[in-house]
Copies of this chain bind each other. A is one copy, B any other.
Amino acid sequence: MNTTPAPVSSGALGLPPHVVILGGGFGGLYAARALKRARVRVTLIDRSNYHLFQPLLYQVATAALNPSDIAIPIRRIVRRQANVNVILAEAEAVDTAAKRVILSDGAVSYDYLIVATGVVSTYFGHDDWARYAPGLKTVEDALEMRRRILLAYEAAEREQDPERRRDWLTFVVIGGGSTGVELAGALAEIARHVLTRDFRNIDPRNARVILVEAGPRILPAFSPELSATAERTLGRLGVEVLTGNPVTDIDDGGVSIGARRTGTKTVLWAAGVEASPLAQSLNVPLDRAGRVLVRPDLTVPGAFEVYVIGDLAAFEQDGKPVPGVAPAAIQEGRHAAASILRSLRGEPPAPFRYRDCGLLATIGRAAAVAERGSVRFSGPFAWLLWLLVHILWLIGFRNRFLVLSGWAWTYVRYERGARLITGEVRDLMETPSRRVEPGLPEKPLA
């Protein structure tokens, strides 16, 4: 790396203070927006050129939406905000003493820093599982999941051996949180409704979808009643729910759950996340998942000008952790921006207070669970609420119209618009079972 110039105090140069934001997710983006009218210079750094609407990422993984339906170029979002500079780069470390962020190809100095780099999938020490069971945090992850799901049906269609064919038609989702539930529900719908007439040698309705949760119930963030409702709804969709047993092994032939072995070629990982590795460079206390134990005003101990927000922040309120959901990240981003403005005016910091927006998880078409405080409901009404909330969130993004039309189409036709297998198909061909097409269909034609 080049030598980096000594940090320059913006004040000494007569320039407005420099606020650097790491991460263009919900937290970082809303922090930048909240600084719109402030006399500061904002630099927003992300390693992707787009903001990802992560709550709908599972719909890309299951071929219902295109990546660009839920990903919007960050430059486009902030292009009217003249005080924001967007940089496509990867932050590797924060040097709080020098007030500097080290990028993979340079460095940038700050007066205030907002760290919002989120979380990554974790395999709890079994990193070798990653190749068999992709996680779902990025667009690339989602496309890889989509590829594997669609290729599994193609392979099953060609497979002559009944046991191997059954393995290709077995889909295991690991992790019973909302992502896992959403994935399992969508997989069941694909099998039962989307692909039904597309194959000649297999019946996609025979596909098994298994949802595995190590804890005693799925959707542990919800009340036990809604967990039970979700489990029943998944059951009606044809999903087998296995709770109370952790996954003990994953390889290219199957999954071991407790003592039980299930043959499968497609495992999707929704079991755990840990903090983005950047947190470690802050040299402040972290929780078990590597998240930063922030102070009440979201700054970190020893560096009052550094805020950590969103999924990367571990923040407790009334004895309960604030959940890793978009509304929390948005509120924290706005709070960090407001705190910076208070600090510039010489006012003391104010503590952050999370306003609970409730929890929502969708299970399938016209099925969802919703909970806010003591209000709990499920079924088509919860699903409509889920749809409405997500549509409202998307307002302001150009993709709204396309997402709506795509969804409407899916709803009416039970279709999946993005059923493309991209990347190398050869991977499939390299499975141990090489096939011979006898050119004879199993059922003679009429």
A interface list, Cβ under 8 A from B = 1-2, 4-5, 8, 10, 13, 15-16, 18, 20, 39, 41, 43, 47-50, 66-69, 71, 73, 75-76, 79-80, 82-83, 85-90, 103-110, 139-140, 143, 150-151, 154, 157-158, 195, 197-201, 398-399, 401-402, 405-406, 409, 413, 415, 417-423, 425-426, 428-429, 434-441, 444-445
Contacts and interface: CB of A to CB of B under 8 A. Distances in A.
A432 to B, nearest CB: 11
A276 to B, nearest CB: 16
Contacts of A157: 86-88
Contacts of A418: 66, 68
Given A436-B107, A439-B108, A158 B87 contact: yes
**Interface SS of chain A: helix, strand, loop or mixed?**
loop
Nearest to A7: B439
A106 B402 contact: no
Contact of A43 (B50, B68, B399, B437): B437
Contact of A15 (B39, B109, B440): B440
Contact of A419 (B73, B150, B441): B73
Contact of A87 (B1, B437, B444): B437
Most buried by B among A49, A75, A434, A437: A437
A177 to B, nearest CB: 26
A105 B429 contact: yes
Nearest to A139: B422
Task: Give the oligomeric copy count.
Answer: 2
Contact of A8 (B68, B76, B402, B439): B439
Given A41-B445, A104-B429, A158-B89, A417 B439 contact: no
B398 A106 contact: no
Contacts of A420: 49-50, 67-68, 71, 73, 139
B90 A425 contact: yes
A353 to B, nearest CB: 32
Nearest to A101: B437
A87 B445 CA distance: 18
15 contacts: A2-B436, A8-B440, A10-B439, A39-B445, A41-B441, A49-B420, A49-B421, A66-B418, A68-B420, A73-B198, A106-B436, A107-B436, A139-B422, A401-B405, A402-B409
Given A18-B439, A90-B426, A398-B409, 8 more contacts: A5-B436, A10-B439, A15-B440, A41-B445, A48-B425, A50-B421, A67-B420, A87-B157
A108 B419 contact: no
Given A429-B105, A445-B39, A445-B41, A5 B438 contact: yes
A441 B5 contact: no
A122 to B, nearest CB: 21
A105 B435 contact: yes
A398 B417 contact: yes
Contact of A88 (B10, B158, B409): B158
B85 A200 contact: yes
B158 A422 contact: no
Given A428-B88, A435-B105, A154 B49 contact: yes
Given A68-B420, A197-B79, A426 B104 contact: yes
A198 B75 contact: yes
A83 B434 contact: no
B16 A445 contact: yes
Contacts of A4: 436
Nearest to A83: B445
B79 A150 contact: no
B421 A43 contact: no
